[in-house]
Chains A and B, each alone.
Chain A
Amino acid sequence: MDQRNKKPIIQLNNIRRDFQVGDEVVHALRGVTFTIYEGEFVTIMGTSGSGKSTLLNTLGCLDTPTSGEYYLDGVEVRTMSKNNRALLRNRKIGFVFQNYNLLAKTTSIENVELPLMYNSSVSDEQRREKAIACLKAVGLGERLNHKSNQMSGGQQQRVAIARALVNDPVIILADEATGNLDTKTSFEILVLFQELYAKGRTIIFVTHNPELSQYSSRNIVLRDGHVVEDTVNTNIASAKTALANLPQTDD
C-alpha cells in the first residue's frame, strides 16, 4: 500500500471508553486500533449503538478515552487538559455536523470566521481573507453576506464545510454530513468532499449509510465497540458521475 509510507495523522491504540450508567458500566469502545494517514478519505460506518459517535467524539478531542493511546498529528491526547484539547481542536480539527450548526442570523463570512476568532495569532484582516477564500473554495463566493437563515440546507452545509477548512486543519471530521440533505444535494456535498480529498485533505466521514463507502478511499465498520472491517477501496466511484446520472426531477 503506497499510503503506508505517508505521515500518520491519527493513531489509535487499543482505545476503550466506558460509561457509567446507573450501576451498570457500558463499554462503548472495546479496544479500537487503527491508523489514518495523511490524504485518506475514510468512512466510518456502523449501526446505532456500535460506538461510532463515541469514536467520533474521541477523534474530535471532545471526549477522552478511558484507556488506550490516541495520537493526533503526533500529540498524545488522552492526558491533555480540557483547555489544551480546546486549543488542539481549534488548530488541528475541522468539524462538519449533520445539522450544520451555523450561528443564527449571522452571515456566511462571520460563521466561517468563527474558529479563527478563538485564535489570537490571526489578525482581523487575515481572518476575513481566509474566510472569503474558504467560501470561494466551497462555491459560495456569491453568498458571502447571506445570513444562515436565508440559505438552503445544501448551502448551509457548504458554509459549515468552509468553516471546517478555515483553520487549515490536519483532519476534517464529518458527522453524517449528508444526513439532513436530499439525494441530489447529498451528492453535491459528496462531490465537494471528493474534491477536497483530491487536494490532499484528510477526511473522516462518519455515516450509517453503507452506499457512501464506494466514494471513499477506505472504509472502517464498527460493531459493538470493535472494528469488524477495515478495507481499502482502490476503485473509488466518482460522486460527480453519480450526480449526473441521477434521474432528473421536473421541479
Chain B
Amino acid sequence: MTFSAFLFQALNGLSTASGLFFIAVGLSLIFGVSRIINIAHGSLYMLGTYIAYTFATHIDGGLGYWGGIVATALIVGVLGALIEIVLLRRIYRAPELFQLLATFALVLVINDATLWLWGPEDLLGPRAPGLRGAIEVFGRQLPSYDLFLIFIGPLVLILLHFALARTRFGRLVRAATQDREMVGALGVNQAVLFTSVFALGALLAGLGGALQVAREPANLATDLVAIGDAFVVVVVGGMGSISGAYLAAVIIAEVKALCIGIGVVDFGFVTVNFSKFTLVAEFLVMAAVLIARPYGLLGKPQAAVRSIAEPEEPIRPATPMLKTLAVIVLALLMCLPLLAQSSPYLLILGIDVLIAVIFATSLHFIMGPGGMHSFGHAAYFGLGAYGAALLVKWLGAPMGIALLVAPLAALAGALLFGWFAVRLSGVYLAMLTLAFAQIVWAAVFQWEGFTGGSNGVIGVWPPPPFDKSWVFFVLTLLLAIAAVLLLRRLLFAPFGYAMRAGRDSVLRAEAIGIDVKRVHWLAFAIAGGICGVAGGLFAFAKGSISPETISVGRSIDGLVMVLLGGIQTLTGPIVGASLYALLQDTVMRQTEYWRALLGIIILVLVLAFPQGIVGAAAHLFGKRRAP
C-alpha cells in the first residue's frame, strides 16, 4: 500500500470514529450519573437511523435530510427521557444486575417494535443534500459527507467538554457521577438531573444513528453491533471520560480501517487477507489497553457502588429434605424415556431443559459465588457447540471425541477471555464479557469458509445408539448430573471458598495470601469448560449449529435463568433454567414477536420485584416492621 493510500484510509477511519464516539459518549455519560449500563443505548442509535430514514425519504430536499437529523436527535432524546421517567427511575435502587436486565429487555422490545414499524428489510437512505460530491484527497475521492463527519465528532467533543467543565449543569453532572445521594442532600433535584443526562445521552445516540443514514442502511442487527462497539470503546477509553471515548473511538476505527486498507498481502509463503482481521484487531487493541491500564486510557478506578443486594447466608450442605427431593426428581427424570413412545416431544423438551440446566449452573458458578456477572456466557456455549460441530464436519470425528473437545475448546476460550475479565469487576466485567461474546459471534459469522458463516454447520447428528432420543436423553441427564455435582463439590471445597472470599472482600482475601485474580480466573475457565459441555450436547441434539444460537440472546437467557431461580441459592439455577426453558418452549414460540414478549416479561418481573425475586420473597416472609 502506498503512503497516500495509507493516509486516505486513516481519514476514512476518522469519519467512522465520529459515529463510534456519538454512541459511546452517551453510554458513558449516562453510566456516570445513574450507574446504569444502558444496553438499550445501541437500540436508540439504531432508532436514530430508522427515524432519520423516514424523514429523509418522506420530506424532500435539505429540510427532510438535515432537518430530519435534528428532529431525529430530539425525538430520540425525548424517548430517552421517557425511558428514564417510566422505567429506570423505578429501579435505581435495584441490584445492578436487574438494571442491566431491564435495559436489555428494552433492547428486545425496541427491536421488535422497529421490526413491526419498518419491516425486516435493510433501508438505505438518500445521500445528503449539499454533500453529495466528493473531494480529491491524496489522489482519491473522499465523499464530502465523510469529511463532514470527521469534523462533527471533535466539534461535539469540544462542546460537551466545555459544558461539563464550565457550566453549573456540568459541575452537577460531575458531582453526581461521584456521589448522587450527596448532591441530593445539598438541595439538587436529582430526578431532573438524571432525566436530563439520560435525554442528552439518548440525543447523542440518536444523532449518531441519524448521521449514518447516508452511509449505511438501517438494519435490525445494528442495535447489538453498536452496543458491542460502544462497550469496547468505553472500556478502552475509560468509563466516564468523554475525551477518552473519542480517543478510543479514533484508535479502534483507525486500526479497523488500516486492516481493510492493507487488504490481501502476499508474504511469499502465505497470503493473508487482513480485512478479515478487523475483529481480531479490535480485540487486540482492547487487550493491550487493559493490560497496561485496566481502567482504560483516560479512565480512573471507579469508587465501588454501594451494594444494596440482600446479604448472603453462609452455604450449608444439603438438608435431608433437599437430598430426598433431588432423588425423587432424578427418579422421575429416569422414568421419562418410558413415555418416549407416546409423546416423543417430551424427551426433546427434557433434553432442552437439561442443557439449559448445565448452561445456567455453570453461569451461576461464577456469577453467584464468584461475583463475576458475565454477560457473555454464550461465548463458551458457542465454542463448545462449534468445537464439536466443526470437528465432526472437517475431521469426521466420532461423537465421543467431539463431546470431549467441546469443553476443551470452551475452556481454552474462557482461559483467554477470563484472563482479561478478572482484571475488571462489576459493570466493566459485564461489558467486557459481552464484548468477548460478540467477538466470538462475529468471528463465527465472518469466517465463512471455516464455520459456514450465517448458514452454520449442519448434519451434526449423533451416531447410533444415540440417535434414539431416549438414549441421548439419558446421556444428557448423566452429563447434567455430573456437571451439577462437580460444581457443587467445588463450592464446598477450599477452592470454592477462596472464590467467595475474593468476592466478599478482595482486600481481606489478598491480605491472607489468596491470589484473587488467579482463583477467579480458574473459576471462570472451569465455568466456561462446563458450559462447553452444554454447547456440545446442543449441537448434537439439534443436528446443527448457527451463529443465531450463540448470539447475545443466549447470554441473556442464562442471566434470566439465574435470576429467576435466585442468585444466592445453589439450587436456584436448576429451578430457574427448568422454568425458563419450559416457558420458552411452550409460550415464546407462539408469536413472531417473541422477543418483545420476553422483554415485557422481564420488565414486569423487574418492576414487580425491584429488589430481586429472592429479596421479594425475603420481604414477604420476613419479620419487617415487627415492633
Answer yes or no: are A and B bound together in one complex: no
